[in-house]
Chain A
Amino acid sequence: MLDTILIAVVMMLVLGALLGLGLGFADRFLKVEADERVEKVTSMLPGYNCGGCGYPGCSGMAEAMVTKEVNTFLCKPCKPDKKQEIIDYLKNTPGPDGSTVEIKG
């Protein structure tokens, strides 16, 4: 009985490790170069994915701001100080092409 449990646990661990290793390698080969500002802005947004801005989720909203698709701040549940932080961040951080983003509050 104990043997079976032990084998089962070891088997799951080995299988998980193998699959994880495979995914780790795949991640290296299939990496997508993304504008790092999108990730940064996404992490500063509340992360509720409420959809109140009209985008499918917070990352969609962040991407729209970084690519200048919108120039107003649409996130409603965002706290005022966080909002200012995002606006300042985008104003002061140039993207890969050297331009910055101006967002109206």
Chain B
Amino acid sequence: MSELVTLLVTSVLINNVILNQFLGMCPFMGVSKKKSSALGMGVAVVFVIVVAALVTYALYYLVLVPIGLEFMELITFILVIASLVQLTEMFIKKYSPSLYKSLGVYLPLITTNCVVLNVCLVNITNAYDFSHMLVYSVGTPLGFALVLYIFSTIRERLELSNVPAAFKGNGIALICAAIMSMAFSGLAGIV
């Protein structure tokens, strides 16, 4: 049990997928301009990753291993992820057109969000059992959503502050991300 808690804290904070592993930078820079769209993106990514991890885990151990096609994991996982993102897109389009608009091109781009594939592949390479897999696949996107949200609150305030002309926009945002990354590395002592 305590091992699972450790894994959760590690995947959310210490080994944070954006600030420590530098994955998923595209939506991190792209949809962090507004709090509401950052939250929407976070929820969408949590959903996609949890379902994708469950499906790919089952696919790997129930289909690929028995027929001896472990080497096909990459291409089958991509297929599953792409379909799931498509499903999420339809769902959001139907139930929240405003969120659909504010996410724009970044919604279909979850497909190529490396966090999703990373979680699915790490579940396999680290040979996690079911409970570890579940905790890791919930923790990682939660860390993603958390950092994306914190970053969007910072960026909303950056809009109002007096930034030197050369750093306006993405420049100062990247510097903030670097400072956040350094701050998060201080959490490494928790566990």
Main secondary structure of the interface of B (DSSP, over half): helix
Residue pair B68, A4 in contact (C-beta under 8 Å): yes
B interface, how many residues as a size bin?
A: 20 to 34
CB proximity of B180 to chain A, nearest CB, Å: 28
Asked if A11 meets B72 with Cβ closer than 8 Å, knowing A30-B90, A32-B93, A56-B104, the reply is yes
Q: Is the CB of B94 within 8 A of A30?
A: yes
Give the CA-CA distance A7 to B65 in the complex, in Å.
Answer: 13
B86, CB-defined interface residue at 8 Å: yes
Instruction: Please give the distance in Å from A74's CB to the nearest CB on chain B.
Output: 19
A interface residue count range (under 10 / 10 to 19 / 20 to 34 / 35 or more): 10 to 19
Provide the bound-state CA to CA distance between A30 and B89, in Å. Answer: 10
Residues of A within 8 A of B79 (CB): 12, 15-16, 19
Hey, what's the 0/1 contact readout for B100-120 against A, CB within 8 Å counting as 1?
Answer: 000011000000000000000
- A-binding residues in B (CB < 8 A): 59, 63-64, 67-69, 72, 75-76, 79-80, 83, 86-87, 90-91, 93-94, 97, 104-105
